Amino acid sequence: MAQLERVRWGIIGVGQVTEVKSGPAFQQAERSELVAVMRRDGAKAADWARRHGVARSYDDADALLADPEVDAVYVATPPDTHAHYALRAAAAGKPVYVEKPMARTADECDAMIRACEDAGVPLFVAYYRRAMPRFRTVAALLADGAIGRPRAVSVRLQRPAGMWDAEHLPWRVDPAVSGGGLFVDLGSHTLDLLDQLLGPVTRVEGTSVNQGGRHRAEDLVTASLSFESGVHGVGLWSFDAHERLDEVEIVGDGGTLRFSSFGEEPLRLTTADGTRHVPAPYPATVQLPLVQTVVDALTGRGECPSTGRSARRTAAVVDALLADHRASLASG
């Protein structure tokens, strides 16, 4: 596709994630503007556009895709429609930036990649930790040898069970919509970050079950992982736990680096000299750093670290870890 001088964006699906985390980024990034939004509820689309100073709103995705002033599309709907809208955007010749997880399965990711490559348009995915300053600091410490040679990694994320009305469960714990449960929604962020920090996963084994019975999605996942860099690791994600915990620990032969995936507290670097706390806060608009890399890629000024192909690797790891539970759902 032709290189753009400035990217005019349209958003398909202006829900909660677009209010603060992502939507403003398209207005704040350099050489970027948000010109149109779409939601099936036209009144809500118009209200979002009014509150955020966007010129046009639609209640039909095809109308937004046909808008000649929309150069690129951000798909911010739930995961069950990511592939659907990405394929339509590709057919319209529009570059696509899709929310994470990229899709419900790696097979759906493959269809999205093929459609965009056939149409000659780029495909990016909102695994925004790849560009956030907090995690760039982690990458810089590893690259500078702060812990020596990385040898092992452990991931632990625990949260109490959600107090949801069984008749009105959020889509994030509906496998038909999200592809799984909170592991897909939250755990995929960390898996994707580790793909960037330690290289692609070369071996994955694990288990997935539903212990609490509050919904149909998995609420416990365990993993054994090997990475292209030679690092080996383990993971535990429990969403029916008493204690809240969020910690990634990368162990090297010269030190250990500990940080959370979702918190803003300092990184903890432990070496023979003791433990040092490294400030690493979140930006006010968390997706802005990644959105800027997408705009840079579309305007020929750089590259985006989160593409359809990198996100597809994360989807494949998720598929492998959820195989047990998905099989149990399929068998009734």
Residue 234 lies in a domain: yes
Distance CA 308, CA 315 (A): 10
Task: Please say whether the beta carbons of 38 and 64 come within 8 A.
Answer: yes
Residue 183 lies in a domain: yes
243-273 pLDDT, tens digit per residue, is: 999 999 999 999 999 999 999 999 999 999 9
Residue 205 lies in a domain: yes
Clarify whether residues 82 and 156 are in a common domain: no
Residue 72's Cα: distance from chain center in Å?
19
Clarify whether residues 124 and 138 are in a common domain: no
Using the predicted structure, report yes or no on whether residue 294 has a pLDDT greater than 90: yes
Clarify whether residues 156 and 196 are in a common domain: yes
Calculate the alpha carbon distances from 33 to 56, 81, 136, 153, 254 in Å: 12, 24, 26, 40, 46
Clarify whether residues 116 and 143 are in a common domain: no
CATH code for the domain of 217: 3.30.360.10
Calculate the alpha carbon distances from 284 to 32, 264, 281 in Å: 18, 12, 9
Clarify whether residues 62 and 166 are in a common domain: no
297-321 pLDDT, tens digit per residue, is: 999 999 999 999 999 999 999 999 9
The DSSP code sequence of 58-80 is: ES-HHHHHH-TT--EEEE-S-GG
pLDDT at 267: 98
CB-based burial of residue 99 (10 Å sphere; 0-12 exposed, 13-18 middle, 19+ buried)? buried
CA nearest neighbour of 75 among 104, 105, 102, 53: 102
pLDDT at 147: 98
What does residue 80 show for φ and ψ, rounded to 5 degrees? -70, -15
Using the predicted structure, report yes or no on whether residue 332 has a pLDDT greater than 80: no
Using the predicted structure, report yes or no on whether residue 51 has a pLDDT greater than 80: yes
Clarify whether residues 111 and 246 are in a common domain: no
Clarify whether residues 118 and 215 are in a common domain: no
pLDDT at 167: 81
pLDDT confidence band for 283 (50 / 70 / 90)? very high
What does residue 296 show for φ and ψ, rounded to 5 degrees? -60, -40
Helix (H) or strand (E) holding 240: none
Residue 211 lies in a domain: yes
323: its two tokens: 């195989």
Task: Please say whether the beta carbons of 115 and 90 come within 8 A.
Answer: yes
Residue 271 lies in a domain: yes
For residues 73-101, average pLDDT: 98
Residue 230 CB: number of other CB atoms within 10 A?
12
CA nearest neighbour of 328 among 169, 216, 170, 182: 216
CATH code for the domain of 86: 3.40.50.720
Residue 93 lies in a domain: yes
Clarify whether residues 195 and 321 are in a common domain: yes
146-168 pLDDT, tens digit per residue, is: 999 999 999 999 999 988 887 88
Clarify whether residues 184 and 222 are in a common domain: yes
Using the predicted structure, report yes or no on whether residue 78 has a pLDDT greater than 80: yes
6-18 pLDDT, tens digit per residue, is: 999 999 999 999 9
The DSSP bridge partners found for residue 157 are 237, 246
User: What are the start-end ranges of the H helices in the chain?
Assistant: 25-28, 42-52, 61-66, 82-91, 106-119, 133-143, 175-178, 182, 188-198, 288-298, 308-330
More confident residue, 1 or 325: 325
- Structurally, the chain folds into a number of domains equal to 2
pLDDT at 1: 80
Say what the pTM is: 0.97
Distance CA 39, CA 109 (A): 23
For residues 106-134, average pLDDT: 98
Range of the domain at 174: 133-282+315-330
Distance CA 244, CA 239 (A): 9
19-46 pLDDT, tens digit per residue, is: 999 999 999 999 999 999 999 999 999 9
Clarify whether residues 112 and 139 are in a common domain: no
Q: Considering the chain, what is the average pLDDT of its residues? A: 97
Distance CA 278, CA 291 (A): 25
For residues 63-85, average pLDDT: 98
Q: What is the CA radius of gyration of the chain?
A: 20
Task: Please say whether the beta carbons of 137 and 278 come within 8 A.
Answer: yes
